[in-house]
Structure 1
């Protein structure tokens, strides 16, 4: 017996639940140490001192400071402060090629007297011996395994965006190398200029949040195409606040409240020079028809071919531009080695830097150009496009061609457009007629970059480096103003499902039927009340711990709670397993229900299309299976878990209010229908028969045998007709595995096997394995017709209808705490029941009320037979 009254218990749950929701607000944790501002290097700029102090307190932070805002001195000062407090710790700064001279110069110029430091460039682990030294190395040395991280306690990645140039595989492999390093920092001026997911990788490197978790938390999946992720519109503000909790994004000192004096970027002029394409190399269409001009929608290989074919004209234009300004210094950016040779031949004064050149020679040439010792530097953006400072003697750059990599492009421009540049910057871009599309794409990315920079700057100017103000801003998303819509046959609320369930009377619903969120697989609203807004499965089930006891309380004794679930696919590059694995979410749901007092009655399996699933996840790929069959699991079905609330009298196996079935009528000796009698033959279709009971109750067993119809005959029908026919035949005949495979291979041979859906799906005769659920039969069809937002995970109508019909009596209440578009309520009304539920998403709530009102009008509308009966009644 509880010591609290029902109202006191309700209030206690509300308070504990509110505390839980606030705990869900997760900004980056502080893992460093506080340093008084007066102990930060006094010679640094005020905004730099603020950033250093903030970074040290966090311990794992990103400094996204614009070009010329002293990332080098910030990096060195952070390492100096760590050395003071952790003198035994080895410290390492990883740099792009050609940048070490900048660090060495900065250390000698600014870090003197009491702030003096020693920096040393190394290429192997054997050179790292003295913890009092701040070591520098190149990304290549880490990438090649010459420098490892076993002894490193603090690392700073300078110009970390350069990692993208190595390719996504190296990029993703590089970041986990530093997992065990205590203090980690990232420095770049161009964080994800047009790819938000790069920010996610930085967060993973820093240890702020697991990459897979953050992708799920902020990005919506495309159900038709794997990997096509977009930032949830309703998560944008939270996303940027989260970014700002571990990354300082600053474009001017004034972003942190300091003066901008001396920090005005020089004006920039972009000059475009179009040279004609070589029409003789235009190529042909797929049908053999010759092209008049080369294809403008070119890929990487076609773009490389276009560059080679137009190289002479482009290099001639470069030489012409340089000859027209003999007093100026130029950086000439190119992509191909052949271009380097052509530039060198056309411009003898140019000094080149290339990849296979001796490392010391490369860096010396870059340093000499930076010092103004020669007028023309020819190199690739991947070599000298990041970290180098050329503004002292150079304000001109020429791109000898255009490419697809915007990060390389924008980084290269800012080698000369920097603070303390004394001249207007002129950028000449040489391209061919066919490359107009590539150039246009580059310009779009530039616009996206500026928009993102503006958004990030707005956040830092609003909240500064204060996490408390950011946390308070996010806390304001907790809670919802309850609204209730009521009809003759329904009552639904716009509310948190836990809080709404607390409002429901005890033992008031005949069935609970819902599709619970699949942990953090989807988020349905920006509110922390959202069950999808969780870090992991454990936190999701903690929130369910508040809901499930209420579902048990409001369900009538002896009745069914049907819970629709699906397992989660875990990708190998996220888990570290190397292969896709499955999180048994349905099993967690099963034991969760048992934990809260439900009896477990069984599980219905709803089969899904394995081909469509693979198109979404790529985890069952045919090519990979051919390489190693152990990589392939099986398709992931959906499940309906059937829970039973204990009846009041546990000595009797019946619900307090049973769900009864009408037995069929039988045929009497006189040939007239009589009430059910086991000794007489039943009349088919007049009630719930023994035959139907046998089908409903039996297990799913199938044996193998041969069909009369061969594989070739089946395959000849084509995928459109065969999809339905094959399922029906597999039910009407004993199943033959070999014939199933042969039929598919016949279709493959005739090029008629679909790649977008499974055309040969076997049927199931077991009522606990449902093969015939129409995947697209959801209320999203009505949503599309109304041109309003689709539900991200709609409930199939077929599933709902069967469960309501099986487990409720007419007139009873069916409750759905995650009511979405209102599928459960709408189908309950149409099946002669009543609907009740809750929904947090305001748009979904408005839509469900529309559908419920529409359904109520439909079921209330008298039929022709009703009118005839009424006329007869009135006449009598």
Structure 2
């Protein structure tokens, strides 16, 4: 494919794995919006439906089950909360699918699977009792089991249910900003590789292991991608259909803040007496507050009921002690009929009691959100709810609210929340999550309104992210571009550059811009080098014969979610880079090793921790250095191997001593010991560091002595956990340990409060390389310009420069530094003023 086709192939959309459904094949019982969603999900084969409460998710699942059974001849499995089986059985009769429904607890007990719809609860799935290979399709109703990747159930489902050809997810409440949940849905459906999605859309939080945040410039692409395999729907008009019958009534939320229980002595978490209670609530604090306030909250609930004693209520509670206190209070109101549904009851009794409440056989239902808060429809005979208490579990709360506040509800819904004054912070957090939930729904529904269920339209729109807004500027002898580096190098003159000096993107490690042209915007190293295949031949073509390309690289960390082996490994990215450049005609002539700080690396990656090393040393490797790979283009004349335009050094500027440092490692005889423990404690760390640097360079390295110095510093509390205090140094020019990691234009970025570059190359490295491998007046090429550090140093050293940067912000910042340098170089001196 040509380069444009390659860029378009990067657009990530969910493929179709299903089968086509004609309108005449659909049940006449479906509502219009359901009749649009079901064929879309069937043709996709692996899709999610995030439709609001009362939009008919049960109908849609049953219709999909019927279509899959007809298509495959195999049964269909629906996983659901315990209390929801009755809803599916009733709706199956309304829909008239023609297939029986059977509730199962263990698939091994069924010898001959008939083409019918099987139901099971998540407890059976959690225990591994269901063999997914026996089914042609599976749907997860209220798929909350996939919210937490660490749970046993989620791991089982992701591993074993990948064998089912047709997979569907239905839920009304994907958790706000819980990207792990969204990714779990995608992985279950098989529409993306987890490692690919994590690399493509998310940045790790270096301060908190496992915490993901969406790249700001990836937000739009992420949600467009999600909308290629998931539909968000609040009401039928979101897909262009009539909302008749789907207009929700008003919803009144009533807060009841009751006085906190008092006691004679208030204590904090350490048991010390305090004057006022701490209103910031941990889970333990919240639990204690609930225990102490049961009687107060039950009293308030009874006051609410007594204010309207003929109304029907569902009372949500979280503890068995709360249920028993409610039952005791309600038994004193003999005119009120109530039932309780709780965990130790058999499933058939739960189902019977919930069904009776839904048709109005008794007045008050007591239950927990985790038992009856999902899937049940109580809107026909109930429009009042009381939460006897609150907690931080937003999903359980919002699901419970919508058991009665859902489409087909005819009356105003009133929901009472009872909490103590010391639980106000919990209430505020619940409100914050509710607000985020609404914002997420609004954002996704807007995409549905714009694109409908048209994946092709989304794909066409995403193609607009291919970069086509070139900018260019000339600053002194430097010419820089804001463009795709492939496009620029295709236009450059052959044999025109005297040196190539660049830090290539480290595979798909990081994306520098929101364009598909970005080399970091690839799926894995193989795809990265496939894009490099369009650039590297032009680098060879434009470089003068015999000249050098110095390529800055670093090997790649592969986390367990990327390599599927359960522990961190290393990808030999530097080796792959060598293979790639040699494939395109370059010749490797040298490697320079630049050491890095292992402590800083661990603080960013968590893979070299001291604690894990003590538990099992086999898990831990070593810190990753950086490399400068030196490649040479063959000269035109191979007799003496000189470059067509040799890099010539004058004898007075390139002394014998400098040649020896450039060409060889060297040894010196053993010297004196380093500072003793007592001496270490008496000097400041700057003095110690500089003395160690000198000592290590002038003595044969002794590991035990190095370890002794570190131990002594640690005993005095002076061994840093933020950086390597006493690093090893090198006497060889092949390993550069004397690099100032802060000597980059990033330091200026921090001062200017601008975005830092993720992989800066140090200015002194650039200076040493330019001096060694180019002549004054040569054109230095940096195809991945970043902040234009290479042109910056090239101008300082009387060279010319050409450089390309795709990120507009980096381009603007780099241009700022170049213009500042030009002003500095051209500023008149006092002698100029005199003359």
TM-score range, shorter chain: over 0.9
Query: Aligned pair 1:100/2:82, yes or no?
Result: no
| Residue in 2 that maps onto 1:40 | 26
Q: Which moved more, 1:315-324 or 1:58-67?
A: 315-324
Query: Aligned pair 1:696/2:662, yes or no?
Result: yes
Per the alignment, in what secondary structure is the counterpart of residue 99 of structure 1? helix
Per the alignment, in what secondary structure is the counterpart of residue 145 of structure 1? coil
Of 685, 707, 724 in structure 1, the residue corresponding to residue 673 of structure 2 is: 707
Deviation at 1:698, TM superposition (A): 2.7
Q: Determine the C-alpha separation between the residues in 2 that align with 1:751 and 1:357.
A: 59
Per the alignment, in what secondary structure is the counterpart of residue 47 of structure 1? helix
Query: Aligned pair 1:266/2:249, yes or no?
Result: yes
Of 71, 80, 84 in structure 1, the residue corresponding to residue 70 of structure 2 is: 84
Deviation at 1:346, TM superposition (A): 3.4
Q: 1:620 to 1:533 in 2, by over 3 A?
A: same
Query: Aligned pair 1:735/2:701, yes or no?
Result: yes
Whether the 8 Å contact between 2:201 and 2:214 is mirrored in structure 1 is yes
Q: 1:163 to 1:363 in 2, by over 3 A?
A: farther
Q: Determine the C-alpha separation between the residues in 2 that align with 1:17 and 1:765.
A: 45
Q: TM-score, normalised to structure 2's length? A: 0.94
Query: Aligned pair 1:123/2:87, yes or no?
Result: no
Q: 1:82 to 1:173 in 2, by over 3 A?
A: closer
| Residue in 2 that maps onto 1:622 | 610
| Residue in 2 that maps onto 1:675 | none
Of 326, 329, 341 in structure 2, the residue corresponding to residue 343 of structure 1 is: 326
1:21-420 superposed matches below 5 A:
21-87=7-73, 89-111=74-96, 115-128=97-110, 129-164=112-147, 170-172=153-155, 174-278=157-261, 280=263, 282-284=266-268, 290-348=273-331, 350-420=338-408
| Residue in 2 that maps onto 1:568 | 556
Per the alignment, in what secondary structure is the counterpart of residue 509 of structure 1? coil
| Residue in 1 that maps onto 2:334 | none
Deviation at 1:788, TM superposition (A): 3.1
Deviation at 1:261, TM superposition (A): 0.5
Q: Determine the C-alpha separation between the residues in 2 that align with 1:593 and 1:661.
A: 27
Q: Which moved more, 1:124-133 or 1:438-447?
A: 124-133
CA displacement, residues 750-791 of structure 1 (integer Å, 9 cap, x when unaligned): 444333222232222222222233333322222233333333
Per the alignment, in what secondary structure is the counterpart of residue 588 of structure 1? helix
Q: 1:98 to 1:249 in 2, by over 3 A?
A: same
1:553-632 superposed matches below 5 A:
553-632=541-620
Whether the 8 Å contact between 1:715 and 1:744 is mirrored in structure 2 is no
Deviation at 1:605, TM superposition (A): 2.0
| Residue in 2 that maps onto 1:10 | none
Per the alignment, in what secondary structure is the counterpart of residue 643 of structure 1? strand
Q: Determine the C-alpha separation between the residues in 2 that align with 1:641 and 1:135.
A: 60
Q: Cα RMSD over matched residues?
A: 2.5
Q: 1:189 to 1:207 in 2, by over 3 A?
A: same
Q: Which moved more, 1:342-351 or 1:776-785?
A: 342-351
Q: TM-score, normalised to structure 1's length? A: 0.90
Deviation at 1:632, TM superposition (A): 1.0
Deviation at 1:296, TM superposition (A): 2.9
Deviation at 1:546, TM superposition (A): 0.3
Deviation at 1:639, TM superposition (A): 1.9
Q: 1:644 to 1:278 in 2, by over 3 A?
A: farther
Deviation at 1:497, TM superposition (A): 0.5
Of 467, 475, 480 in structure 1, the residue corresponding to residue 455 of structure 2 is: 467
Q: 1:709 to 1:448 in 2, by over 3 A?
A: same
Q: Determine the C-alpha separation between the residues in 2 that align with 1:316 and 1:720.
A: 67
CA displacement, residues 695-745 of structure 1 (integer Å, 9 cap, x when unaligned): 322358899999343356436657676555544443343333233334434
Q: Determine the C-alpha separation between the residues in 2 that align with 1:266 and 1:574.
A: 47
Q: Determine the C-alpha separation between the residues in 2 that align with 1:569 and 1:630.
A: 16
Q: Determine the C-alpha separation between the residues in 1 that align with 2:406 and 2:690.
A: 66
Deviation at 1:168, TM superposition (A): 5.0
Q: Determine the C-alpha separation between the residues in 1 that align with 2:498 and 2:505.
A: 22
Q: 1:542 to 1:703 in 2, by over 3 A?
A: farther
Whether the 8 Å contact between 1:225 and 1:615 is mirrored in structure 2 is no
Q: Determine the C-alpha separation between the residues in 1 that align with 2:266 and 2:520.
A: 52
Of 613, 638, 641 in structure 2, the residue corresponding to residue 650 of structure 1 is: 638
Query: Aligned pair 1:455/2:438, yes or no?
Result: no
Q: Which moved more, 1:612-621 or 1:543-552?
A: 612-621
Whether the 8 Å contact between 2:87 and 2:376 is mirrored in structure 1 is yes
Q: Determine the C-alpha separation between the residues in 2 that align with 1:116 and 1:306.
A: 52
Q: Determine the C-alpha separation between the residues in 2 that align with 1:579 and 1:118.
A: 46
Q: 1:638 to 1:847 in 2, by over 3 A?
A: same
Whether the 8 Å contact between 1:496 and 1:840 is mirrored in structure 2 is yes
| Residue in 2 that maps onto 1:682 | none
Deviation at 1:52, TM superposition (A): 0.8
Per the alignment, in what secondary structure is the counterpart of residue 547 of structure 2? strand
Of 475, 494, 497 in structure 1, the residue corresponding to residue 482 of structure 2 is: 494
Whether the 8 Å contact between 2:72 and 2:136 is mirrored in structure 1 is no
| Residue in 1 that maps onto 2:515 | 527
Q: Which moved more, 1:411-420 or 1:384-393?
A: 384-393
Q: 1:742 to 1:131 in 2, by over 3 A?
A: farther
Q: Which moved more, 1:224-233 or 1:804-813?
A: 224-233
Whether the 8 Å contact between 1:659 and 1:808 is mirrored in structure 2 is yes
Q: Determine the C-alpha separation between the residues in 2 that align with 1:263 and 1:357.
A: 35
Deviation at 1:595, TM superposition (A): 0.5
Q: 1:285 to 1:82 in 2, by over 3 A?
A: closer
Whether the 8 Å contact between 1:706 and 1:735 is mirrored in structure 2 is no
Q: 1:848 to 1:787 in 2, by over 3 A?
A: same
Q: Determine the C-alpha separation between the residues in 1 that align with 2:120 and 2:648.
A: 77
1:679-690 superposed matches below 5 A:
687-690=653-656
Q: 1:293 to 1:474 in 2, by over 3 A?
A: same
Q: Determine the C-alpha separation between the residues in 2 that align with 1:394 and 1:725.
A: 80
Q: Which runs of 5+ in 1 are unaligned?
A: 1-14, 665-686, 872-876
1:689-838 superposed matches below 5 A:
689-699=655-665, 707-711=673-677, 713-714=679-680, 717=683, 722=688, 725-838=691-804
Q: Determine the C-alpha separation between the residues in 1 that align with 2:670 and 2:303.
A: 79
| Residue in 1 that maps onto 2:413 | 425
CA displacement, residues 15-58 of structure 1 (integer Å, 9 cap, x when unaligned): 81112112222211011110111111121111111111001101
Q: Determine the C-alpha separation between the residues in 1 that align with 2:251 and 2:409.
A: 11
Q: Which moved more, 1:691-700 or 1:252-261?
A: 691-700
Q: 1:23 to 1:478 in 2, by over 3 A?
A: same
Q: Which runs of 5+ in 2 are unaligned?
A: 332-336
**How many residue pairs get matched?**
828
1:673-684 superposed matches below 5 A:
none
